[in-house]
Chain A
Amino acid sequence: MHEEILITARSNPPVDPVMHIWGWEISVYLFLGGLTAGIMFFSALMLLLNRDEEAPFSVNRLSLLAPVVLSLGMATLFLDLEHKLFVWRFYTTFEPTSPMSYGAWILVLVYPITLLQVLSTLRSGYPLLASLLTGTRPERVLLVCERWRRPIAWAAIPVAVALGIYTGILLSAFSARPFWNTGLLGPLFLVSGLSTGAALIALIARRHSEKRLFTLIDAGLILTELVIVALLLVNLSTGAQPQLDAAARLLGGDYTAWFWGAFVALGLLIPLLLEAAEIRATLRSLALLAPVLVLVGGYVLRVIAVDLGQETTWIDYGSEFNTELLERLH
């Protein structure tokens, strides 16, 4: 027997009794950050490939969602901070060893670029909105952005990839959390982010050719994601003891149903089958279900990653301390 227990009360919330420093705020942010990356990426890509006819929604209207979705994510990120008044401290320094510092500065790049993407397509995508500016000085800005729409799209692609992949690298850089500590998390979050972006387009685009194109793209991304998930499991289950403990949580432990049921089956396999059926035009009536499942699956992945990851550890003490005992002192 080898048993290690705390014999003085260490009841530091949110570290004890089980670490729960990050909750839904971070899962939502990571999900919306990935979705923003997908939106930026595909609106830029479709514009660069001149798909105005085939995918008019992606080229002209989609980019407006990027700043909206990202702002929602930034709001929940802000809610998570414990020392909110000092949020500006992210921007008085750059810390080259901290992925979170890279993330803070990437977000500073993302906003103006999404704004430029919106402006460069405003007249073709939202003519009513653009007409409000007719004859005013800002209209000149629109015209300049339109002329530069290809360079703007070229700039959006690497920034979108950086945004999508950093959310995964952020977690994977924590050597103290064995579940996160794998380089596969960056690619996994990037592909998942792009997949949710493609699903969103398949969900709201009106033109059939565009729905079909993004159903096809999403199916490819889901296949890629399945491969990365398989590699992640191989990586965990061939690791050292802390990784094996984390793998056991997914392979029979308390996260098994969430991981296999809600993420792998509902979020990846079933939408992949539905999309395959849709591409072969046999199951039109379920066309809306696949992208909805992909979006839900993308969020479930972030929840599992954040919740399970922070609980995995190198050192795990038993504790009999009951915080209710403290309350009785009053």
Chain B
Amino acid sequence: MTHYAMVIDTRLCIGCGDCVIACKTENKVPEGLNRDWVVEATRGTYPDLSTEFRSERCNHCSHATCVYMCPTGASHHWKDTNIVLVDPNKCTGCKACIAACPYDARLVMHPGGYIDKCTFCHHRVEKGLDPACVSTCPTRCMYFGLLDDPSSEVSELLRRRDYKVLAPETGNRPNVYYLT
């Protein structure tokens, strides 16, 4: 399996939300729906507080429970990569994948009715481009690349820096990494 990863530096992210706008523009996500979002996590007791911004989306899990639960094969791993896509022509809108996702990263497309989600902009990845959110980020805190290649920027960063993933205890093996 070709292993793509997104790496996001929480020390550089300022929570501007440009990734969200870039995604909506690139993928024509209808009003009121979002494939990505930003979380502000605050820890500590005043005045000793620390804040972390995280741009979040589908984690394109290696162990993708949404793919396992889909009754029709509509949710699938794209071309033997870890990129999880939904084929609208196979989707019945049963919403099993929404229940199966521990990150609540899926949505019901309106007015279509099929299930939609972040695609890691596979249509751009195919052309050798970064996903729209990564290429737009004004603080350049987002990186995208192949984990299979030890010399890639993402591999390099994960070797050098401390990082975490969201809710690894779910066993889903997520592929969006946060540098801490």
Contact = CB atoms under 8 A, between A and B. Distances in A.
B71 A98 contact: yes
Interface string B148-176: 00000000000000000011011100000
B129 interface: no
Interface string A301-330: 000000000100111010000010010000
A7 interface: yes
Contact of A92 (B72, B99, B115, B167): B72
A324 B15 CA distance: 23
Interface string A36-60: 0000000000000000000000000
B72 A95 contact: yes
**Size category, A interface:** 35 or more
B123 interface: no
Contacts of B15: 7
A137 interface: no
Contacts of B20: 8
Interface string A96-124: 01111101100000000000000000000
Interface string B121-132: 000000000000
A72 interface: no
B171 A174 contact: no
B91 A83 contact: yes
Contacts of A315: 102-104, 166-167
Contacts of B103: 315
B43 A314 contact: no
Contact of B41 (A3, A12, A82, A83): A3
Interface stretch (B2-10, B27-35, B77-85, B135-143): B27-35
- The B contact surface, by secondary structure, is loop
A175 B66 CA distance: 10
A95 B73 contact: yes
Interface residues of B, number: 53
Interface stretch (A15-23, A184-192, A265-273): A15-23
A14 interface: yes
B119 interface: no
B11 interface: no
Contact of A1 (B33, B44, B94, B99): B44
Contacts of B74: 89
B114 interface: yes
B104 A98 contact: no
B136 to A, nearest CB: 14
Interface of A: 1-16, 19, 21-22, 80-84, 86-87, 89-90, 92-93, 95, 97-101, 103-104, 173-177, 240, 310, 313-315, 317, 323, 326
13 contacts: A2-B41, A7-B39, A10-B37, A12-B32, A15-B98, A19-B99, A81-B93, A83-B112, A86-B114, A98-B96, A174-B100, A175-B171, A314-B169
Interface of B: 15, 17, 20, 31-34, 37-45, 53, 65, 68-74, 88-96, 98-104, 106-108, 112-115, 166-167, 169-171
Given A12-B33, A98-B71, 4 more contacts: A86-B72, A92-B72, A174-B96, A174-B99
Leading 7 A-B pairs by shortest Cβ distance? A82-B93, A83-B93, A100-B71, A12-B107, A176-B102, A10-B37, A101-B71
